[in-house]
Structure 1
């Protein structure tokens, strides 16, 4: 485990809501505290369909990783902002298709670090690692990921539900450009991002409540703003779409009028 500080006690502030724990609550997990549940409920009151959206985002991860490992032959994955372990973690999905797949996770929430051992249960043929670090420290993440991943071979970079936590003043597009510049041709960038322009009647109020209650704020973005993350890359079909609509399984049962957020998968040329 990279930079895990295993010898130091992991300090978790249970009085302040954190994005990973609020997300875990929305997913139906149990790794959250009263402050996280209160914040989550405040947002849900303004955006009642949000639970479907976060669960659909998890299903999007499963479909994307299965497709990349299967049809596209990708053997390496860098999952940044992975969140609290839940069902169908990236290494489980990838190694179910390719036992030798290698996966590196990265997150900056102490409680994710506390549960990181669950992300390191790799197949005998594969490998997993966990980096305790912030996406904004891109150089560090890439340096430590190189202990497990071979950056001369294709890597799938997963940024699922994380870029909205990077405000404009921290140069989110520069961060993504640095990540894609570090991987070779044939690599992939995967992004899912909550939208500012799909539910204007409710999403703005939900985002306002989120930023009032959660220590790690968010910046929702429009379709055009999310599309800009893929500039210079080759979007694969069906292009930029809502994440529940990206190559859905035949048995996917989206509620009528389902709204999630913007997502896309692009190949590094």
Structure 2
């Protein structure tokens, strides 16, 4: 069921920290302090956040322009900023429909104010693990037709889910409800440095009072794409995913990266069908 928590201004939020790293205004002093502590461990995290946002813009545009996707679901959408999913998609086709899912009260408050002015977009208040609640929600069913191709985004959110809660199982539950020809975006924080993975994971768990997951290795993220057809250029640091600006590409994070890509749902995958190993288009 939906999460109706009140805002606790004594506890940093991963969504509000991300907003601060992007230069946004929907954050509080507690989020700013936590972000500054994170920058001491990983000083290029602002570059990482910006690169991830640029990747989101590119990948939504590719789904809309090149693959004709007109309905999108953004899990763990975070705070609204410039060039949100509905703005990118509706610039291609004003009829595009977008469902955002988040359970941060600040995200919900600010998001709803924007979506009240756009009847083709809505935010559903829910923990993204509550897939049945989300997929059966009246607003979801009003905007999203699962008998047509959908673009689903797990953009920079699966690291907010610990292994024990099954981030891979979440992806599987959602993908198994999609028709072939749908597309899935997955990226999350990774590092080759085991010490940094441990240090940042412990720091974020402490700062957010356990409302976080973990930094992972690339091989763990690769498994989220099981049974999907990975699109060119494959699974990469998202800075290198079809970059549209060499200047942006040079603003690269060092200590850790957002790793992932775009994949298509092939025939035979829907409704719990046998799941083959991932392929590359």
Contact 1:113/1:132, CA 8 A, preserved across alignment: yes
Deviation at 1:204, TM superposition (A): 3.8
Find the counterpart in structure 2 of residue 142 from structure 1: 135
User: C-alpha displacement at 1:257, in angstroms?
Assistant: 5.8
Give the drift of 1:56: 0.7
Contact 1:91 1:119 in 2 (8 A): no
Q: Which residue of 1 aligns with 2:272?
A: none
SS at match of 1:57: helix
Residues 221-240 of structure 1: matches in 2 within 5 Å? 221-240=216-235
Gaps of 5+ in 1: none
- Alignment match, 2:21: 26
1:205 paired with 2:202, answer no
Describe how 1:35-184 pairs up with structure 2 within 5 A. Answer: 35-120=30-115, 127-144=120-137, 145-184=140-179
| Shift of residue 214, structure 1, vs aligned partner | 1.9
- With over 3 angstroms needed to count, the CA separation of the structure-2 counterparts of 1:122 and 1:71, relative to structure 1, is farther
- Assess, with a 3 A threshold, how the Cα gap between structure 1 residues 55 and 173 changes in structure 2: closer, same or farther: same
TM (norm. structure 1) is 0.91
Runs of 5+ unmatched residues, structure 2 = 267-281
SS in 2 for 1:254: helix
Secondary structure (helix, strand or coil) at the match of 2:143 reads: coil
1:262 aligns with 2:243: no
SS for the counterpart of 1:262 is: strand
Structure 1's 251 and 97: CA in aligned 2 closer, same or farther, altered over 3 A?
Answer: farther
Output the CA distance in 1 between the equivalents of 2:86 and 2:3. Answer: 19
Contact 2:163 2:213 in 1 (8 A): no
The 10-residue stretch of structure 1 (74-83 or 209-218) with the greater mean CA deviation from structure 2: 209-218
What residue is the counterpart of 2:182 in the other structure? 187
Residue 241 in 1 paired to residue 199 in 2? Answer: no
8 Å CA contact 1:89–1:119 kept in 2: the answer is: no
**Aligned-residue offset at 1:222:** 1.0
Q: CA RMSD in A?
A: 2.0
SS of the residue aligned with 1:158? strand
**Aligned equivalents of 2:2 and 2:219: distance in 1?**
36
- Note if 1:253 corresponds to 2:248: yes
Equivalences, count: 261
Structure 2 distance, partners of 1:258, 1:15, is 29
